[in-house]
Amino acid sequence: MSGRASLNRRRFLQALSVAGAAAVLAACGDSGDLASPPADSAPVTDAAPQPPSAWFKDTTPFIVHDDGKSLEARLEHMDALITPSRLFFVRNNSVSLEVDPDTWRLSIEGDGVTNPLSFSYDDIRKLPSRTLVCYLECAGNHRAMFGLVQGRQSTGTQWMTGGVGNGEWVGVPLRDVLASAGITDDAVSVLLIGLDAESPERGFRRVLPVAKALHPDTLLAYSLNGEDLPRDHGFPLRALVPGWVGSSNVKWLGRIVVSRERLWTRNNTTSYVLIGDDYAPEGQALGRVTTTQVVKSALALPWPARLNAGTHWIHGYAQSPDGPMRRVEWSLDAGQTWRDASVLDSQVQYSWARFDFEWDAPPGNHTVMTRATDAAGATQPDQIPFNEKGYLFNQPVPHPVQVT
């Protein structure tokens, strides 16, 4: 941990202990239910209809980021385990595509297969399928907290807490498709390439190690929540890589290249890489390549929240790549003391978890924090090292709440 980061954390906790949520509210500004982004960040605007070329879904329920590629969900709109497709966040690297399923093809190629193949949409739909309940989260979810909490802003779209959703997905195991193409025993990398030619590298791409590609739960998904994939979410086919950062789940999938060598692209050398003093370079990457997600939790409240004085049931969501939640706690004193929340629902497969707790809220400014611990024993840390791209922030989020 750097001395600067440690100092910022001490000052932050000191401010909370002295002034409570007023310190955080001052940092956020009087901006309704949105945080004011740090200086020089991509601005966040209230939702407004966007050109059809940007997105297909109604943008009204979302925080619309001015990068033109991101629709951030508002967790306060959600009260169930499964995120409705209309409320599911969107992170694109180009405008959303409209792909004709009748002419679409998926090619499997490269020196790591002995029988290159091309699949039609009907071919994919006829293969044996699997259904998974799985959360999907942008690697940059909570990125704005580096600036708000640590006082050190990272680059990239300043996501708050809504770059995540939980869905029921149906698809074909990727390993079955690779087996049909004759994947070789010495294959090392599986490169997923999207049809979004306006994205960097003329098609967004991520590399999976062959072990993850062959995992039975890594899917080529064609359905979300009982319907065909929405166009904003990759219709007709996308990857679903449970527990890995959202960028691994390539949308509008068109090509899969299997290689007997480790492959490097923009998205595992300079982007989707943890770059900073605490992260040693990995291979050709400038730092540590982001793969698996981390344990996180967030309240399903506007930011900052405003409540009437009295008793409230407060709820939120927690997720981890390492299994269900063992425990979720909440704090009103900057993490000096913690109380148990109730974890709701039976957590199946790779689902996130709902939690709630009862709070008798007195008038004044407050800061509510939550902390999750998963079945593997991983707990949200008090501090994480800074990284330039702002990935995988999972300190407890200090949520400002004004009670009147």
Residues 258 and 133 in one domain: yes
Angle, CA of 163, 169 and 172, to the nearest 5°: 125
Residues 27 and 150 in one domain: no
pLDDT for residue 42: 37
Choose one of 272, 288, 304: the last residue of a domain. 288
Instruction: Give domain status of residue 337, yes or no.
Output: yes
Residue 96 resides in a domain: no
User: pTM score, two decimals?
Assistant: 0.88
| pLDDT at residue 30 in the model | 38
What is the enclosing helix (H) or strand (E) of 296? strand 296-299
Whether the CB-CB separation of 379 and 295 falls below 8 Å is answered with yes
Which tokens in the block code for residue 119? 């699949």
What confidence score (pLDDT) does residue 53 get? 52
Provide the pLDDT for residue 20: 44
Q: Is residue 97 part of a domain?
A: no
Q: Is the residue at 2 inside a domain?
A: no
pLDDT of residue 106: 98
**Dihedral over alpha carbons 79, 80, 82, 83 (to 10 degrees):** -10
The whole domain housing 333 covers 296-403
Residues 173, 252: one domain?
yes
- Same domain as 397, residue 251: no
**Domain boundary pick from 91, 115, 132:** 91
pLDDT < 50 stretches in the chain? 1-23, 26-52
Q: Give residue 363's identity as a one-letter amino acid code.
A: P
Q: Is residue 218 a contact partner of residue 240, using CB atoms and an 8 Å limit?
A: yes
Structural domains of the chain, count: 3
Helix (H, G, I), strand (E, B) or coil at 77: helix
Last residue of a domain, one of 260, 288, 316: 288
> Do residues 132 and 274 both lie within one domain?
yes
- Tell me, what's the pLDDT at 37? 38
236 and 129 part of one domain: yes
Does one domain contain both 381 and 301? yes
4 belongs to a structural domain: no
Q: What is the CA radius of gyration of the chain?
A: 21
